[in-house]
Protein backbone atom coordinates (compact mmCIF):
# COMPACT_ATOMS: atom_id res chain seq x y z
CA UNK A 1 0.00 0.00 0.00
CA UNK A 2 1.25 3.49 -0.89
CA UNK A 3 1.78 6.21 1.69
CA UNK A 4 -1.34 7.29 3.55
CA UNK A 5 -2.98 10.44 2.27
CA UNK A 6 -1.64 13.71 3.62
CA UNK A 7 -4.15 16.17 4.98
CA UNK A 8 -4.29 19.95 4.40
CA UNK A 9 -5.80 22.60 6.61
CA UNK A 10 -8.90 24.47 5.41
CA UNK A 11 -6.66 27.37 4.36
CA UNK A 12 -4.69 24.91 2.26
CA UNK A 13 -1.49 24.62 4.28
CA UNK A 14 0.27 21.72 5.99
CA UNK A 15 0.03 23.50 9.34
CA UNK A 16 -2.73 25.75 10.67
CA UNK A 17 -1.99 29.48 10.71
CA UNK A 18 -1.68 31.75 13.71
CA UNK A 19 -1.55 35.48 13.24
CA UNK A 20 -1.65 38.57 15.40
CA UNK A 21 -3.32 41.65 13.99
CA UNK A 22 -3.03 44.48 16.45
CA UNK A 23 -5.16 43.53 19.41
CA UNK A 24 -6.54 40.37 17.82
CA UNK A 25 -5.05 36.87 17.60
CA UNK A 26 -6.51 34.58 14.94
CA UNK A 27 -5.79 30.85 15.12
CA UNK A 28 -6.93 28.31 12.53
CA UNK A 29 -8.02 25.46 14.79
CA UNK A 30 -7.76 21.95 13.29
CA UNK A 31 -7.60 20.16 16.59
CA UNK A 32 -11.28 19.41 16.94
CA UNK A 33 -13.37 16.60 15.49
CA UNK A 34 -17.04 17.35 14.80
CA UNK A 35 -20.16 15.28 14.33
CA UNK A 36 -23.81 16.25 14.27
CA UNK A 37 -26.19 14.44 16.59
CA UNK A 38 -29.95 14.48 16.05
CA UNK A 39 -32.56 12.66 18.11
CA UNK A 40 -34.74 10.27 16.20
CA UNK A 41 -38.41 11.13 16.53
CA UNK A 42 -39.75 10.30 19.99
CA UNK A 43 -36.42 9.11 21.35
CA UNK A 44 -35.20 12.39 22.85
CA UNK A 45 -35.13 10.92 26.38
CA UNK A 46 -32.97 7.98 25.36
CA UNK A 47 -30.55 10.33 23.65
CA UNK A 48 -30.36 12.55 26.72
CA UNK A 49 -29.71 9.52 28.92
CA UNK A 50 -27.02 8.04 26.69
CA UNK A 51 -25.35 11.42 26.40
CA UNK A 52 -25.26 11.85 30.14
CA UNK A 53 -23.72 8.44 30.63
CA UNK A 54 -21.09 9.14 27.99
CA UNK A 55 -20.30 12.58 29.37
CA UNK A 56 -21.63 14.39 26.33
CA UNK A 57 -23.32 17.68 27.23
CA UNK A 58 -26.48 18.61 25.31
CA UNK A 59 -26.94 22.38 25.83
CA UNK A 60 -30.16 24.27 25.18
CA UNK A 61 -30.94 26.69 22.33
CA UNK A 62 -28.31 29.34 21.70
CA UNK A 63 -25.80 27.67 24.01
CA UNK A 64 -22.63 25.64 23.92
CA UNK A 65 -21.36 23.52 26.79
CA UNK A 66 -18.04 21.87 27.55
CA UNK A 67 -17.34 18.70 29.53
CA UNK A 68 -14.25 16.56 30.17
CA UNK A 69 -13.78 15.10 26.69
CA UNK A 70 -16.75 16.33 24.74
CA UNK A 71 -18.29 19.68 24.23
CA UNK A 72 -21.39 20.48 22.23
CA UNK A 73 -23.15 23.31 20.40
CA UNK A 74 -26.91 23.49 19.96
CA UNK A 75 -27.67 23.47 16.22
CA UNK A 76 -31.45 23.28 16.09
CA UNK A 77 -34.36 21.51 17.75
CA UNK A 78 -33.09 18.09 18.95
CA UNK A 79 -29.84 18.62 17.07
CA UNK A 80 -26.32 19.34 18.31
CA UNK A 81 -22.77 19.57 17.03
CA UNK A 82 -20.52 17.38 19.18
CA UNK A 83 -16.91 18.45 19.56
CA UNK A 84 -14.03 16.22 20.69
CA UNK A 85 -10.23 16.33 20.46
CA UNK A 86 -9.20 15.34 16.94
CA UNK A 87 -6.11 13.48 18.19
CA UNK A 88 -8.23 10.97 20.08
CA UNK A 89 -11.52 11.19 18.14
CA UNK A 90 -10.53 11.53 14.49
CA UNK A 91 -13.24 9.02 13.61
CA UNK A 92 -15.77 10.71 15.87
CA UNK A 93 -18.98 9.44 14.26
CA UNK A 94 -17.79 5.85 14.55
CA UNK A 95 -17.17 6.52 18.25
CA UNK A 96 -20.55 8.16 18.82
CA UNK A 97 -22.76 5.73 16.93
CA UNK A 98 -22.42 2.87 19.43
CA UNK A 99 -23.26 5.28 22.26
CA UNK A 100 -26.62 6.25 20.77
CA UNK A 101 -27.45 3.28 18.60
CA UNK A 102 -30.68 3.74 16.64
CA UNK A 103 -31.91 6.51 18.95
CA UNK A 104 -30.04 9.21 17.07
CA UNK A 105 -28.80 10.15 13.65
CA UNK A 106 -25.11 10.94 13.64
CA UNK A 107 -23.19 12.52 10.79
CA UNK A 108 -19.50 13.21 10.40
CA UNK A 109 -18.90 16.97 10.17
CA UNK A 110 -15.21 17.50 10.94
CA UNK A 111 -14.29 18.34 7.36
CA UNK A 112 -17.30 20.46 6.56
CA UNK A 113 -16.04 23.42 8.56
CA UNK A 114 -13.18 25.80 9.14
CA UNK A 115 -12.73 27.00 12.70
CA UNK A 116 -11.00 30.22 13.64
CA UNK A 117 -10.36 30.99 17.30
CA UNK A 118 -10.21 34.72 17.91
CA UNK A 119 -8.66 36.18 21.04
CA UNK A 120 -8.97 39.85 21.95
CA UNK A 121 -9.54 41.92 25.08
CA UNK A 122 -12.45 43.75 23.44
CA UNK A 123 -14.20 41.14 21.31
CA UNK A 124 -17.47 43.11 20.98
CA UNK A 125 -15.57 45.94 19.29
CA UNK A 126 -14.45 43.43 16.65
CA UNK A 127 -17.76 41.65 16.26
CA UNK A 128 -19.76 44.84 15.76
CA UNK A 129 -17.93 45.02 12.39
CA UNK A 130 -18.63 41.36 11.57
CA UNK A 131 -22.20 40.37 12.36
CA UNK A 132 -25.43 41.42 14.01
CA UNK A 133 -24.88 39.09 16.99
CA UNK A 134 -24.91 41.10 20.23
CA UNK A 135 -21.69 39.73 21.67
CA UNK A 136 -21.76 42.44 24.32
CA UNK A 137 -24.77 40.70 25.87
CA UNK A 138 -23.65 37.15 25.07
CA UNK A 139 -21.98 35.59 28.07
CA UNK A 140 -19.49 32.73 28.08
CA UNK A 141 -21.19 29.66 26.64
CA UNK A 142 -23.37 31.57 24.23
CA UNK A 143 -23.37 30.01 20.78
CA UNK A 144 -25.35 30.81 17.69
CA UNK A 145 -25.30 30.70 13.93
CA UNK A 146 -25.41 33.98 12.07
CA UNK A 147 -24.15 35.68 8.91
CA UNK A 148 -20.61 37.02 8.47
CA UNK A 149 -19.98 38.57 5.05
CA UNK A 150 -22.73 36.45 3.43
CA UNK A 151 -21.45 33.25 5.11
CA UNK A 152 -23.48 31.29 7.65
CA UNK A 153 -21.15 30.81 10.62
CA UNK A 154 -21.38 29.56 14.19
CA UNK A 155 -20.15 32.00 16.79
CA UNK A 156 -19.20 30.32 20.06
CA UNK A 157 -18.11 32.38 23.05
CA UNK A 158 -15.52 30.20 24.77
CA UNK A 159 -14.46 32.81 27.32
CA UNK A 160 -14.53 36.56 27.89
CA UNK A 161 -11.60 36.96 25.54
CA UNK A 162 -12.00 34.02 23.16
CA UNK A 163 -14.56 33.27 20.47
CA UNK A 164 -14.64 30.48 17.91
CA UNK A 165 -16.03 31.17 14.47
CA UNK A 166 -16.98 27.99 12.65
CA UNK A 167 -17.71 28.61 8.98
CA UNK A 168 -18.08 26.69 5.72
CA UNK A 169 -14.74 25.09 4.84
CA UNK A 170 -14.86 25.83 1.12
CA UNK A 171 -15.03 29.55 1.95
CA UNK A 172 -12.18 29.47 4.47
CA UNK A 173 -10.23 32.07 2.51
CA UNK A 174 -13.16 34.46 2.20
CA UNK A 175 -13.95 34.14 5.89
CA UNK A 176 -10.32 34.60 6.89
CA UNK A 177 -10.15 37.70 4.68
CA UNK A 178 -13.26 39.11 6.38
CA UNK A 179 -11.81 38.51 9.85
CA UNK A 180 -8.43 40.06 9.14
CA UNK A 181 -10.00 43.05 7.38
CA UNK A 182 -12.30 43.71 10.32
CA UNK A 183 -9.44 43.33 12.80
CA UNK A 184 -7.37 45.91 10.94
CA UNK A 185 -10.32 48.25 10.65
CA UNK A 186 -11.71 47.96 14.17
CA UNK A 187 -8.54 48.52 16.24
Partner 1 sequence: MIINHPLLGPRDSQEFVYLGDAALIHRPDGMAEGALDKFIDYTYLRDNPAGTHRELWYHEQGDRSWLVVTRNTVTHEITAVELARDVARTEGRSK
Partner 2 sequence: MSRISGGQIDRSKTLRFSFDGVSYNGHPGDTLASALLANNVRLMGRSFKYHRPRGVISAGSEEPNAIVELRTGARQEPNTRATVIELFDGLSAQSQNRWPSLKFDAMAINDRLSPFFAAGFYYKTFMWPAAFWEKIYEPIIRRAAGLGSLSKQDDPDDYDKGFLHCDLLIIGAGPAGLSAALTAGRAGARVILADEDFCMGGRLNAETLEIGGVAGADWAAKTVLELAALPNVRLMTRTTVIGAFDHGIYGAVERVSDHLAQPLPGKPRQILWRIYTARAILAAGATERPIAFENNDRPGIMLAGALRAYANRWGVAVGEKVAVFTNNDDGLRTVSDLKAKGLDVTLIDARKGDEVIDSAGRLGLKSITVRRGNGQTETLQVSALGVSGGWNPNLNIASNHRGRPIWDDSIAAFLPAPESIAGLSCVGAAAGAMSTHAALTTGAEQAVAILADLGIKASADVPKAEDAPLNLSPAWYVHSGKGRAWVDQQNDVTVKDVKLAKQEGFVSVEHLKRYTTLGMATDQGKTGNVLGLAVMAELTGKTIPQTGTTIYRPPYTPVAMGALGGRARGHDFKPTRHAPSHKWATEQGAIFVEVGYWLRAQWLPRPGETTWRQSVDREVLQTRKSAGICDVTTLGKIDIQGTDAGLFLDRVYANTFGSLAVGKVRYGLMLREDGMVMDDGTTARMGQNEYVMTTTTANAVPVFRHLEYCRQVLWPDLDVQLISTTEAWAQYSVAGPNARKLLEKLVDQDISDAAFPYMACGNITVQGTRARLFRISFSGERAYEIAVPTRYGDAMIRALVEAGREFDAVVYGTEALGVMRVEKGHVAGNELNGQSSALNMGLGKMVSRKKDSIGMVLSQREGMTAPNGYRLVGVKPVNPSDALTAGAHFLAKGAEAVAANDGGWLTSVVYSPHLGHSIGLGYLKSGDNRKGERMRSVNLLAKTDVEVEIISPHFFDPEGERLRG
- Between 20 and 147, name the residue whose CB sits nearer to partner 1: 147
Residue 144 within binding range of partner 1, rule CB under 8 A:
yes
DSSP letters along 71-102, please?
A: EEEEEETTEEEEEEEHHHHTTHHHHHHHHHGG
- Between 25 and 146, name the residue whose CB sits nearer to partner 1: 146
Count CB-CB contacts under 10 A for residue 100.
22
Provide the minimum distance between the beta carbon of 143 and partner 2 in the complex, in angstroms, as a whole number. Answer: 17
Binding string, residues 144-163; x marks residues near partner 2 by CB under 8 A: -----xxx------------
| Of 25, 29, 79, 119, the one binding partner 2 by CB under 8 A | 79
Tell me if residue 19 falls in helix, strand or coil: strand
* Contacts of 109 by beta carbon, 8 Å cutoff, 6+ apart: 34, 35, 36, 81
Residue 61 within binding range of partner 1, rule CB under 8 A:
yes
Residues 69-108 contacting partner 1, CB under 8 A: 74-77
**β-sheet bridge partners, residue 106:** 37
φ/ψ bin of 47: left (φ > 0), alpha (ψ from -120 to 50), beta (otherwise): alpha
Cα separation, 16 vs 19, in Å, equals 10
- Between 104 and 143, name the residue whose CB sits nearer to partner 1: 143
- From partner 1, partner 2, none, interface partner of 184 (C-beta below 5 to 8 A by class): partner 2
Provide the minimum distance between the beta carbon of 146 and partner 1 in the complex, in angstroms, as a whole number. Answer: 6
Amino acid sequence: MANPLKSLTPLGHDKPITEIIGAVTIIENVGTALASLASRRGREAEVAGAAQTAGIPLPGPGRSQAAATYSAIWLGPEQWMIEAPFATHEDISAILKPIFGEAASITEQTDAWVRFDLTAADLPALFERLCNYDLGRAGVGAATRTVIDHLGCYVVRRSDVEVSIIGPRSSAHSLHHALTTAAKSAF
